[in-house]
Amino acid sequence: MTDTMTARPDNGVDESSSLLPAPGDEARVRRDDRGHVFHSWSAQGAIDPLPIASAQGSYFTDYSGKRYLDFSSQLVNVNIGYQHPKLVAAVQEQAARLCTIAPGFANDARSEAARLIAEIAPGDLDKVFFTNGGADANEHAIRMARVHTGRHKVLAAYRSYHGATAGAIALTGDPRRWASEPGMPGVVRYWGPYLYRSAFHATTEAEECERALQHLRDTIMVEGPQTVAAIVLETVVGTNGVLVPPDGYLAGVREICDELGIVMVADEVMAGFGRCGEWFAVDHWGVTPDLITFAKGVNSGYVPLGGVVLSERIAASFADRPYPGGLTYSGHPLACASAVASIQIFREEGILEHARALGEDVIGPGLRELAERHPSVGEVRGLGVFWAVELVRDRRTREPLVPFNATGADAKPMAELAAACKERGLWPFTHFNRTHVVPPCTTSSDEVREGLAVLDEALEVADRYCARS
């Protein structure tokens, strides 16, 4: 793709002949939203969602005409940007041909999407089970692992998020899980690598890797290897900090799984499809898991879609016995057509290469410059277009800018930071004491620099809470 391509042409829809209701005015949108929409993860009386009128490229626009540069990619899923004309056209074309067909039939869009995903997946991962999103992809990956091994325990990390359905939320290692407990039985927690706040008192990446792997081995030992079906991990931890594993860690997990007959499940829902500058983040380390779960960036959320990519060994388990699971909308033609178009666009426009270059040449250097100027920045870390800025009150003690899982007045510094960004036309992604830099993978270098300049100003808000030496 060219670095100067930021705007998208009109999608060609004749709104005068539309059977859909007119977009309406902001007051009506707000009224109907507050009257009838029940929002996720929210106290309903405490929110006032911003009505959005349109979006294009790396920006979305509210009803007042204010445009926001999206440094969140919505929920880190609009990898290809908003309203890409080829992706819109693919959905329109498929809708005109065949809107839906049950998963028990063969369909050209579904078959081609599966073929293309298998083609870009590592190693012998050659079959695709389609789901509606990332949470149910993880649900099915766990079911596959349990049936394949005949075992019931699943190791899942603290500082992780795997979805909000019953099984996926049980796998999740952050506070969003608490309200759903007790959950699915058989989940065992372990600590993954995170050198900046090491659970293993490590001082180097090599020590963190070695000690995290030993901790994983020890956990399996006391749980009983013969009871463990799967180890589930986000290849690069997403919402809980963009935690990039040290070199050797994923290879070490692969070795443990091979040695003990455990299924390695890589959750690539957020990290995959260009976010880390590769088709799948595991490609950065040359590791092949047994199962990869995906969603989000596969088609940038234009139509709901997720799935599990299966290795030959796991798929063979179901050659002569039925797989005990399915979904009415598995491999929905509209969603699969959008995935086919998305993969073609990635290739035609060099989006993987662009994402890598953004990380190496623009985002990484830019964030490190901010760290030098702002005492509130404790650490920056990331790959491709997947970065986190960890904010602290004191660099020496590494005291977080806000406490873990802070709410209300305790969360005020981060709320003020987010407000400062939005006031200046930048939509941030914040979680706990971090702001993440995760714009669409198609964002231009100049747009990223525009966003970093706003973040530079907004960080002055966080600096006011810092200890001064």
Q: Quick one: pLDDT at residue 23? A: 72
Q: Are residue 286 and residue 361 in the same domain, yes or no? A: no
Rounded to whole angstroms, the Cα distance separating 168 from 37 reads 24
What is each CA distance from 328 to 130, 331, 332, in whole angstroms? 11, 9, 9
Q: Are residue 300 and residue 371 in the same domain, yes or no? A: no
Q: Are residue 150 and residue 281 in the same domain, yes or no? A: yes
- Contact, 145 vs 263, CB < 8 A? yes
Mean of pLDDT over the chain? 95
Q: Are residue 134 and residue 258 in the same domain, yes or no? A: yes
The string of pLDDT tens digits covering residues 18-33 is 676 667 789 999 999 9
Rounded to the nearest 5 degrees, what angle is found at the Cα of 10, between the Cα atoms of 6 and 14? 165
In a domain, 10, yes or no: no
The string of pLDDT tens digits covering residues 36-84 is 999 999 999 999 999 999 999 999 999 999 999 999 999 999 999 999 9
Q: What is the CATH number of the domain that holds 392?
A: 3.90.1150.10
Rounded to whole angstroms, the Cα distance separating 424 from 460 reads 13
Q: Quick one: pLDDT at residue 467? A: 81
In a domain, 33, yes or no: yes
Block residue for tokens 């790396």: 58
Q: Are residue 432 and residue 387 in the same domain, yes or no? A: yes
What is each CA distance from 111 to 114, 220, 310, 327, in whole angstroms? 5, 38, 15, 17
Q: What is the CATH number of the domain that holds 270?
A: 3.40.640.10
Average of per-residue pLDDT across 182-207: 97
pLDDT at 378 over 60: yes
- Contact, 308 vs 141, CB < 8 A? yes
In a domain, 28, yes or no: yes
Rounded to whole angstroms, the Cα distance separating 370 from 457 reads 10
Q: Are residue 60 and residue 105 in the same domain, yes or no? A: no
DSSP per-residue letters across 426-444? EE-EEETTEEEE---TT--
In a domain, 1, yes or no: no
Q: Are residue 97 and residue 186 in the same domain, yes or no? A: yes
Tokens of residue 362, six digits: 């623009």
The dihedrals phi and psi of 14, each to the nearest 5 degrees, come to -90, 100
Q: Are residue 378 and residue 330 in the same domain, yes or no? A: no
Q: Are residue 140 and residue 56 in the same domain, yes or no? A: no
pLDDT band (50, 70, 90) for residue 11: very low
Q: Quick one: pLDDT at residue 3? A: 54
Q: Are residue 55 and residue 204 in the same domain, yes or no? A: no
Average of per-residue pLDDT across 164-188: 97
Q: Quick one: pLDDT at residue 1? A: 55
Q: Quick one: pLDDT at residue 12? A: 46
**Domain region containing 399:** 15-83+351-463
In a domain, 394, yes or no: yes
Q: Are residue 41 and residue 97 in the same domain, yes or no? A: no
Query: Which residues sit opposite 70 in a β-bridge?
Result: 427
- Contact, 155 vs 216, CB < 8 A? yes
- Positive or negative, the CA dihedral 412, 427, 233, 155 is positive
Length of the chain, in residues: 469
Dihedral, CA of residue 178, residue 180, residue 182 and residue 187, to nearest 10: -80
DSSP per-residue letters across 188-201? EEEPPP-GGG-TT-
Q: Quick one: pLDDT at residue 128? A: 98
Which among 349, 373, 390 is the end of a domain? 349
Number of domains in the chain: 2
Contacts of 313 (CB under 8 A, 6+ apart): 124, 290
What is each CA distance from 80 to 120, 148, 410, 424, in whole angstroms? 17, 35, 36, 24
Collapsing DSSP states into helix, strand and coil, what is residue 352? helix
Which among 321, 349, 377 is the end of a domain? 349
- Contact, 448 vs 365, CB < 8 A? no
In a domain, 8, yes or no: no
pLDDT at 129 over 60: yes
Q: Quick one: pLDDT at residue 377? A: 98
Q: Are residue 338 and residue 364 in the same domain, yes or no? A: no
